[in-house]
Structure formats: structure tokens, C-alpha cells
């Protein structure tokens, strides 16, 4: 897997010889550590490309060093869900090993197979043809629908999350996480938290495996075609309501191109060959054979709120000196402000 552009300096401190001996013992076929590079992009779990003496590449993904929020950076959940999905229609890298917290790098990590593919960081896909964009976005929604059709019991994930009251628990969880990492007073966030708590949607019984961070730059395509070869970054996965993933993906259609997380707002998506939000949601529902969602504004406001809470945690870690990618704190803060304003505006529109 090659989801990030590599850089040389590791975030963790460790002994290469000790790590090499450990990997030789626990990773089948590993012949000895010949090289290690940290992928530079990404904000949560530091990820390294490792090369063994036979020329084979692997990927090591670890919890960051330092004091962490409870339940954050769950590489063990990533390992478990990708192992479970290995024989389904959802493409994932091959899982090879999960360490304990007392690993040679001082943090829990997983090792997975390396895939040579393409990750697109601009959702407008400016380097691609119109037909490629259309097929890539079709693959994106088809894979999301396929994920939500996987029976958790069939793949051993029946206890991967608590059933029922998903949005109530999520609003509570991310409010707690946000308060624990709050870097400054944000009135729009406070307003949104109150609104979400007072306007929770009723539990309609839908439950599936949800990715939690499903967007274009968290999937990998074949080098030459719009075929998706891997869904990456599963640390926020759980059992939950499928519309949370769907709304989170559609949120990118509303973000601006100059946002820290690039979006497609104001672009002519018809000219680009990219579906608009209504088309995307309709395609997803048709693939799953379900009705169009009600209370869509709630799901969208929740998505803006949740991403703002996640980024607040990233900003807090950056200010504390242990973020995976500490650059751009000013841009991060601006994005959080944008997200909280969007969450409030979406909620207010639903209330009028």
C-alpha cells in the first residue's frame, strides 16, 4: 500500500535492529529490515513504508507517541475490521501482524501488505479525464454500498459496536472528545452541540459496519484505471448507522476547494463528470434497494460537527507536539471554524 508520499524522519524513537528482529519473528516471510520511511501526509496514526532485505515492501501503521485520548488511534480496530473484510467485496490490504502496546517502537502497531496504487488528494481529480472521474465516483459509492451490505455476524464483527441509539452515542462521544481537546472557545460549535442533542433522529433499526472516515483520499485506485483496490484508514470504524458514512462522504461535496480537506463546492460537477449530492445519494440508495433518507439535514450537520471535533483533537495534538503531521495549524484552525459554521447553518436551515 502506498497511501502517502514518504519522508525520511520517523515520528517514533526506536532501535532499528530490535525492530528488525521483532518483525522477522512475527511477520511471515520477513527477512530483515533494510529500510524505513514515514509517509508524510495524514494526521492521525503515523504510517511507515518498510523494506526487507529481499526487496519486499510492507506497511507499518502505529499509534502516535505521547498521551492519547481514550479510544483514539485504534490500530487494533483497524486490524480487526480489515481482517474480517478480507473475503468480502470491500477491498482491503492484507493484515499480517498486530503488536501489543509494549512493541519495539513503544506503541501498538499493525503490519500489512504493501499495495502499489494511486491515492487522489483533490476530489476534483484535475489530472483525470471526465470518464475516469465518473467511474471513480461510481466505484466510491458502490464500495460504500457494498460495505453497508456486509453482515457483521457473517464476518465475526457482531460485537464490533453497541447496537441502537447510534447518533445519540456518537454526539455524546464526540462532544466529550471535543471538550477534552478544546483549544479555544467556539460559539458555533457550542450551538451545534446543543442543537444535535435536542434534535436527535429516532433510531430506525438500521445498523451496518461503518468506516467512519470514508472519503476519496482514504481509498486507493489502480495505477492506471478507476478500479478501487483498497479502502484505508479504518481507525474510526464501528457498527453504526450507514447514513453517517453516506453523509460524511457527501460533506465533501459541500466543502470548498481551498479547504484543508478539499471539497467540490462551486465547481461545475456536471462538466467534470462528478455526481451532485442528490445523484450520489440516489445511486447509493438504489444500489442497496432502500428509500431515500429522511432528516438529511441532521445527518449532514452531524457530519460537519464530528469532523470539526476530530480536527480539534488533531490541532490539540499538534500544539502538544505529538501529531503525525504538525504543519498547518493555522489552516487547521480555519477549517474547524468553517466546519462549525457549516454545521450551524445546516441545522438552522432544517429548523426553518
pLDDT tens digit string along 187-234? 999 999 999 999 999 989 999 999 999 999 999 999 999 999 999 999
Helix, strand or coil for residue 91?
A: coil
The conformation of residue 218, written as its DSSP 8-state character, comes to G
Report pLDDT for 154. Answer: 97
Instruction: Domain count for the chain, please give it.
Output: 2
Residue 122 in any domain: the answer is no
Q: What is the CATH number of the domain that holds 78?
A: 3.30.200.20
Report pLDDT for 2. Answer: 43
Are 45 and 235 in contact by the 8 Å Cβ rule? The answer is yes
The range of the structural domain enclosing residue 292 comes to 130-351
pLDDT tens digit string along 124-159? 999 999 999 999 999 999 999 999 999 999 999 999
Q: What is the CATH number of the domain that holds 182?
A: 3.90.1200.10
Report pLDDT for 41. Answer: 63
102 and 152 part of one domain: no
Q: Which long-range contacts (CB under 8 A, 24 or more apart) does 126-135 make?
A: 128/226, 130/271, 130/272, 130/273, 131/273, 132/226, 132/273, 133/272, 133/273, 133/274, 134/273, 134/274, 135/226
139 and 35 part of one domain: no
Task: Give the chain's residues under pLDDT 50.
Answer: 1-8
What is the DSSP annotation of 292-338?
Answer: PPSSHHHHHHHHHHHHHHHHHHHHHHHHHT--SS---HHHHHHHHHH
Amino acid at each position: 500500500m502506498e497511501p502517502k508520499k514518504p519522508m525520511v524522519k520517523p515520528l517514533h524513537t526506536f532501535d532499528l535492529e530490535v525492530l528488525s528482529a521483532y518483525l522477522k519473528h512475527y511477520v511471515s516471510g520477513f527477512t530483515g529490515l533494510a529500510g524505513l520511511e514515514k509517509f508524510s501526509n495524514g494526521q492521525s496514526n503515523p504510517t511507515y513504508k518498510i523494506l526487507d532485505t529481499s526487496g519486499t515492501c510492507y506497511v507499518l501503521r502505529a499509534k502516535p507517541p505521547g498521551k492519547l485520548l481514550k479510544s483514539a488511534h485504534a490500530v487494533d480496530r483497524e486490524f480487526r475490521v480489515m481482517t474480517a473484510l478480507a473475503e468480502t467485496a470491500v477491498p482491503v490490504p492484507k493484515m499480517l501482524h498486530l503488536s501489543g502496546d509494549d512493541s519495539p517502537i513503544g506503541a501498538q502497531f499493525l503490519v500489512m501488505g504493501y499495495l502499489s496504487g494511486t491515492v487522489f488528494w483533490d476530489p476534483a481529480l484535475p489530472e483525470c479525464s471526465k470518464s475516469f472521474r465518473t467511474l471513480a465516483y461510481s466505484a466510491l459509492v458502490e464500495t460504500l454500498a457494498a460495505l453497508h451490505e456486509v453482515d457483521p455476524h457473517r464476518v465475526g464483527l457482531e460485537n464490533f459496536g453497541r447496537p441502537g441509539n447510534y447518533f445519540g452515542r456518537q454526539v455524546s462521544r464526540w462532544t466529550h472528545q471535543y471538550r477534552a481537546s478544546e483549544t479555544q472557545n467556539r460559539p458555533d460549535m457550542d450551538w451545534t452541540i446543543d442543537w444535535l442533542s435536542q434534535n436527535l433522529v429516532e433510531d430506525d433499526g438500521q445498523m451496518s459496519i461503518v468506516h467512519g472516515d470514508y472519503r476519496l483520499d482514504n481509498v486507493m485506485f489502480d495505477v492506471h484505471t478507476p478500479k478501487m483496490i483498497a479502502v484505508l484508514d479504518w481507525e474510526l470504524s464501528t457498527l453504526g448507522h450507514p447514513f453517517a458514512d453516506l453523509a460524511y462522504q457527501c460533506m465533501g461535496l459541500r466543502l470548498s476547494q481551498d479547504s484543508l480537506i478539499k471539497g467540490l463546492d462551486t465547481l461545475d460537477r456536471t462538466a467534470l463528470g462528478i455526481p451532485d449530492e442528490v445523484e450520489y445519494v440516489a445511486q447509493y440508495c438504489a444500489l442497496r434497494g432502500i428509500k431515500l433518507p429522511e432528516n438529511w439535514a441532521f445527518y449532514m450537520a452531524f457530519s460537519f460537527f464530528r469532523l470539526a471535533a476530530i480536527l480539534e483533537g488533531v490541532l490539540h495534538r499538534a500544539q502538544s507536539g505529538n501529531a503525525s503531521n504538525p504543519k498547518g495549524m493555522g489552516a487547521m484552525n480555519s477549517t474547524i471554524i468553517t466546519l462549525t459554521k457549516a454545521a450551524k447553518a445546516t441545522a438552522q436551515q432544517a429548523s426553518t
